[in-house]
Amino acid sequence: MISETFWRGKSVIVTGGSSGIGRAVGEALAAVGTRVGLIARRREPLVATAAAIRRLGGMTEEEACDVTDAAALAAAVASLERRLGECEVAVASAGIHRTSWPLDAAIAADVIDVNVKGCIHLAAAVLPGMLSRRRGWFCGIASIAGVVGLPGNAAYCASKAAVVAFLESVRLDAAAEGVRVTTALPGVIDTPMITNAERAAGGVMPADVAAVRILRGIERGRAEVWFPRRTAIAARAARSLPPRIRDAFLRRQPRLEEPGGD
Q: In what order do the strands lie in the sheet with 35-40?
A: 59-64, 35-40, 11-15, 89-92, 136-141, 179-186, 224-227
Q: Residue 3 in contact with residue 27, Cβ under 8 Å?
A: no
Give the active site residue among 137, 156, 166, 227: 156
Which pLDDT score is estimated for 148? 92
Is residue 156 annotated as a catalytic residue, yes or no?
A: yes
Say whether pLDDT at 259 is over 80: no
Q: Which domains does the chain have, with CATH numbers?
A: 4-261 (3.40.50.720)
Say whether pLDDT at 201 is over 90: no
Q: Which tens digit of pLDDT belongs to each residue from 88-144?
A: 999 999 999 998 889 999 999 999 999 999 999 999 999 999 999 999 999 999 999
Q: Give dist(CA 206, CA 20) in Å, integer.
A: 9
Q: Give dist(CA 215, CA 25) in Å, integer.
A: 8
Which pLDDT score is estimated for 181? 98
Torsion of CA 48, 92, 31, 54, to 10 degrees: -20
pTM of the full structure:
0.92
Which pLDDT score is estimated for 194? 57
Mean pLDDT of the chain: 91
34: how many CB neighbours lie within 10 A of its CB? Answer: 27
Q: Give dist(CA 203, CA 147) in Å, integer.
A: 19
Q: Which tens digit of pLDDT belongs to each residue from 220-251?
A: 999 999 999 988 998 888 888 888 888 888 88
